[in-house]
Amino acid sequence: MAKKRIIAIAIVAIAIVLSGGYGYYLYNKPRATAESTRTDVTTDARTLYGAFEQDEPRANGMYLNKMIEVKGKVQRVDTSAGNMVILLETGGAGNINCSMASLPSPAVLNQEIVVKGTCAGYLLDVNLVDCIIKENQ
């Protein structure tokens, strides 16, 4: 009986140590960035916005939490609050709102650019977060 109890305690102790080690690994794991993550979807601003405007639940399934490259014309650049947000024209009522991961050199208004970021959903605008400017055209 005592032998079974010792084995049970040893198994529980090993499980605790292993789960603690795995938790420590996950806590210290570097965060994925747009530069280091492969692109899931490549599209243009008009198509992306149109998909959300037409059928948001379907568009969520296609784009939400995926790494997206979006090509579009810069409508506005906002640098308030210490971060940069680039708005891409869509030809619709809203825009593609790209929250930049860092402060890149300012994009020129009306310039075609390619932005890469994670789709965070649709709230009047399609929101991309942790974006980088992939290419100026």
Whether the CB-CB separation of 34 and 101 falls below 8 Å is answered with: yes
Residues 26 and 81 placed together within one structural domain of the fold: no
Residues 13 and 77 placed together within one structural domain of the fold: no
Domain that holds residue 15: 1-30
pLDDT digits (tens, 9 = 90+) for 80-131: 777 888 999 998 889 999 998 877 666 677 889 999 999 999 988 999 999 9
Whether residue 135 has pLDDT greater than 80: no
Collect all residues with Cβ–Cβ distance below 8 Å to 23 and sequence separation of at least 6: none
Residues 46 and 21 placed together within one structural domain of the fold: no
Q: Find, among 61, 32, 46, the residue nearest to 126 by Cα.
A: 46
The pTM of this model reads 0.74
pLDDT digits (tens, 9 = 90+) for 24-76: 988 888 777 777 788 889 999 999 999 999 999 999 999 999 999 999 999 98
Collect all residues with Cβ–Cβ distance below 8 Å to 11 and sequence separation of at least 6: none
Number of domains the chain is built from: 2
Q: Has residue 36 been placed in a domain?
A: no
Whether the CB-CB separation of 68 and 122 falls below 8 Å is answered with: no
Measure the CA–CA gap between 123 and 127, rounded to whole angstroms: 7
